[in-house]
Amino acid sequence: RQSKGYGEITKRVVFSHGTEMAFTGKTVDGTSYDSKEQGTYVCAVGGLPLFSSEHKYDSGTGWPSFFQPVDPDHVIERIDTSAAGMTRVEVLCARTGAHLGHVFPDGPEPTGKRYCINAAALKFVP
């Protein structure tokens, strides 16, 4: 994977497993993290459809939050112990392995999951 051509925040998020600052995120095409526009969020690196605006909700955390991916096979969930004293579940793009964010068990029905995703790892397609 080449990191050439991506903005600094996107490179730090997707290739170095970073996290953008809360309440500031923009997708690679400039869509705000809290956009209510209807469409699909695809991987900024490989274009794989990941999340739909139909499954997006305001979690109050400052990051785009979804209660499910468009297809469970499009994301990889793996244990992440990189944060001191915390065990989280990291979410990666199944096509490229790009870091997207984390999933937590405190989301709304029907799944009870909160996919807390960095906007910089996504491209919005209306």
Residue 82 confidence class, pLDDT cut points 50, 70, 90: confident
Using pLDDT thresholds of 50, 70 and 90, give the confidence band for residue 4.
Answer: low
Which CATH number does the domain housing residue 91 bear? 2.170.150.20
Integer-rounded Cα radius of gyration of the chain: 13
- Structural domain contains residue 2: no
Using the predicted structure, report yes or no on whether residue 75 has a pLDDT greater than 90: yes
Q: Which H helix or E strand runs over 80?
A: strand 75-80
Task: Name the domain count of the chain.
Answer: 1
Neighbours of 26 (CB within 10 A): 18
The answer as to whether 1 is a domain residue is no
51 in a structural domain: yes
Q: Contacts by 16-24 with C-beta closer than 8 Å and gap 24+?
A: 16/99, 17/80, 17/82, 17/90, 17/99, 18/99, 18/118, 19/101, 19/118, 20/63, 20/118, 20/119, 20/120, 21/62, 22/61, 22/62, 22/63, 23/62, 24/62
User: Has residue 113 been placed in a domain?
Assistant: yes
Active site residues: 116
Task: Report the pLDDT averaged over residues 11-36.
Answer: 97
Inter-residue contact 49 to 70 (CB < 8 Å): yes
Domain hosting 106: range is 8-125
Lowest-confidence region among 14-28, 80-94, 101-115: 80-94
Answer whether residue 49 is part of any domain. yes
Backbone angles phi, psi at 8, to 5 degrees: -60, -45
